[in-house]
Structure 1
Amino acid sequence: MKSSFKEDLSKEKQLAPLLDSYYKKHLKQYCFERVSNLKEQLSGIDLIMRKRNTDSIYYVDEKAQLDYVNERLPTFAFELCYNKRGAKKQGWLFDTSKKTHFYALVTSIFVDEENVFTSCNITFVNRKKLIRHLDDLALTEDVLGRIVLGHQDSSHGKVELKQLHPKREGYLFFSTKNKAEKPINLILKLDYLIEIGVAKRLV
């Protein structure tokens, strides 16, 4: 089992032109600057959006379902924690060092016979609104951390949460067998995020 971090970075670079074409077409009120500095990327900034004729600046973290090319998934995984060299590390969702304002969730990614990216869906999620909504559900970082600790001996798979309907809203998922980093994710339905007003489908 190997980490695919470098492979994912390469795929993300190949995907970027398609994403940029969608941004230019559907977000004409903004101009964009793609970030190449690794330090800024690690702080949760892949894209800087500037609203035209204003001083408004937004930092966007692009999250792409590159493990599921040519598939349509109704959910997205929000990382709570993962393992690195045997030590548990904080995931990106609640990481206060991240400067992210919006997640651009890239799903339903399709490629042609030559492995060229041809289409995808993009859902923008307001990070602050999402965390506030989870707080309102009593799914704070501390509460989720305690739930994770209580199930850390679970070998692999789904853990339902009383605050979320598992089929319509979301659940926890422990990836202890199929991924090198053994991430523990909060899986949320994209339609649910749109319905509660924390997300908007761009395309």
Structure 2
Amino acid sequence: MGVQSNFKKDLQKEKELAVYLDSLYKTHLKKYTTQRVLNYKKQLQGIDVLFTHNETQETYKIDEKAQLDYIGEDLPTFAFEINYIKNDSLKKGWLFDTSKTTQFYALITAIYKDEPNKFTSCKITLVNRKKLIALLKSKKITQDVLCNYLENEHKTYGKIIIKELHNYREGYLYFSSKNKAESPLNLILKLDYLIQKGVAKRLI
């Protein structure tokens, strides 16, 4: 039996998490007004929430990415999607997708449900997408470079060490061909590394 996509189940979890996140934004973002985006077209452009500064009225487009497969775990890394398979066709992942208008990723980690059907805590790390892409580019990490690693390794599953990153302190590639229906190729990056490099900061 092949791996079944958990898309519908994930969608329900995302809806439940969104309610919890909105309450956190209201509590912790005193200088901003937040608005959840319900327009499907805008969501496809990589916009889940808008943060508007109360004084300057400048608005930022936020794409929420949550580790919903790891509820109850506090991982030090996050998976940035490079590509995936849909309908037997290779698609570009969200990290290097130029059709996305995302300005910041809100990475939701350490998600806990200490009560039935209720999220009770999490961490939120904001990543400046433009700065992240620039950091990767400075290390000669591009979509093509990462895809070439997969081709050259002839790997069907698992971790791929790349010379551009220290695999313990910075990151590595991971090909999820067995446990994910979409068989994504992800760039796994250490959150502390991103914070240290000034492209990310802990919000909560």
Specify if TM > 0.5.
yes
Letter in 1 for 2:99: S
> CA-to-partner distance for each residue in 1:27-60, whole Å, 9 max, x for gaps?
2111111011121111100001111122411100
3-state secondary structure, aligned to 2:94 = coil
Equivalent residue, structure 1, for 2:203: 202
Equivalent residue, structure 1, for 2:54: 52
> CA-to-partner distance for each residue in 1:63-120, whole Å, 9 max, x for gaps?
0000000111110000000001111100000000001000000000000241211000
Equivalent residue, structure 1, for 2:113: 111
3-state secondary structure, aligned to 2:120 = strand
3-state secondary structure, aligned to 1:117 = coil
Tell me how far apart the structure 2 counterparts of residues 93 and 169 of structure 1 sit (CA, whole Å): 17
Equivalent residue, structure 2, for 1:17: 19
> CA-to-partner distance for each residue in 1:150-192, whole Å, 9 max, x for gaps?
23x3121000111111111100000011110000000001111
Tell me how far apart the structure 1 counterparts of residues 151 and 40 of structure 2 sit (CA, whole Å): 32
Is 2:74 aligned against 1:101?
Answer: no
Identical counterparts, % of pairs: 59
**Moved runs in structure 1, 4+ residues, more than 4 A?**
none
Tell me how far apart the structure 1 counterparts of residues 183 and 174 of structure 2 sit (CA, whole Å): 10
Tell me how far apart the structure 1 counterparts of residues 86 and 115 of structure 2 sit (CA, whole Å): 35
Tell me how far apart the structure 2 counterparts of residues 10 and 37 of structure 1 sit (CA, whole Å): 17
Is 2:84 aligned against 1:85?
Answer: no
Is 2:163 aligned against 1:162?
Answer: yes
Structure 2: unaligned runs, 5 residues or longer: none
CA RMSD after TM alignment: 1.1
Letter in 2 for 1:7: K
Shift of 1:23: 1.4
**Alignment length (residue pairs):** 202
**Structure 1 residues 113 and 25, CA gap change in structure 2 (3 angstroms):** closer
Structure 1: unaligned runs, 5 residues or longer: none
Letter in 2 for 1:21: S
Is 2:135 aligned against 1:133?
Answer: yes
Is 2:87 aligned against 1:70?
Answer: no
Shift of 1:122: 0.3
Letter in 2 for 1:14: E
Letter in 1 for 2:192: D
Equivalent residue, structure 2, for 1:187: 188
Equivalent residue, structure 2, for 1:7: 9
